[in-house]
Structure 1
Amino acid sequence: MPSLDEIMKMAEAAQAQLAQAQENLDKVEVEGLSGGGLVKIKATAKGRILGVSIDDSLLVPGEKTMLEDLIAAAINDARGKADAAAGEQMQAMTSGLPLPPGFKLPF
């Protein structure tokens, strides 16, 4: 059974690794697509939107509603990919920690 000091040191190490993992999430880039790639959203795994690309063929005044829907769909696609990338990063980070079964990070 680890001592209280050992548990505190493990918690501090886990907290430092978590902070590093959070910082790394802003460096992982994903791209959300909609409309067969006509609308692209580039984002970080942390959810920060880096850019939007809209194919010129969609820039027709009568297609405003469709364009808005495609942008929303691309953002949602990017968000889903960002969440998946973040989950992978967190899984990799916690795989080496001696945590009890069922214990989840962040605290």
Structure 2
Amino acid sequence: MRGMNDMVRQAQMMQKKMQKLQEEMEDKVVEASSGGGMVTVEATCSGVVKSVKIDPSVIDPEDVDMLQDLVLAAVNEAVKKGKDFAESEMKGLTGGINIPGIF
């Protein structure tokens, strides 16, 4: 019975650590850019875009599609970086065990 109590206690500790890590990922910011730094995006590791910076020289009213593509690429890369970082941190916490639905 003691072994079962220890296991439950360990599971509760891991759950608290995972919750803390998820909260930390809401504050952890990553940055990505596209177009050689013409568009830069900052996003949290939980996927919230915090800022978008666009170099004025890339704004061309005749080529809106290019600007849209640069913004989209930078946003997608920032979100991917955040997700990858969060997954890496979670694997460190869980000893490499993949727990679906965490991030």
- Superposed pair shares fold, TM > 0.5: yes
The C-alpha deviation readout for 1:38-91, integer Å capped at 9, x for no partner, is 001101111111000011012221110000011110011101211221122213
- After TM superposition, the runs of 4+ consecutive aligned structure 1 residues lying more than 2 A away are 91-95, 102-107
2:61: which partner in 1?
Answer: 61
Identity %, equivalent residues? 34
Q: Alignment length, in residue pairs? A: 101
RMSD between aligned residues = 2.0
Which residues of 2 match residues 18-97 of structure 1 at below 5 A? 18-95=18-95
- Choose the corresponding residue for 1:104, options 84, 87, 98: 98
8 Å CA contact 1:35–1:70 kept in 2: the answer is yes
Q: Helix, strand or coil: the match of 2:71?
A: helix
- In structure 1, the gaps of 5 or more residues are 96-101
TM-score w.r.t. structure 2 length? 0.86
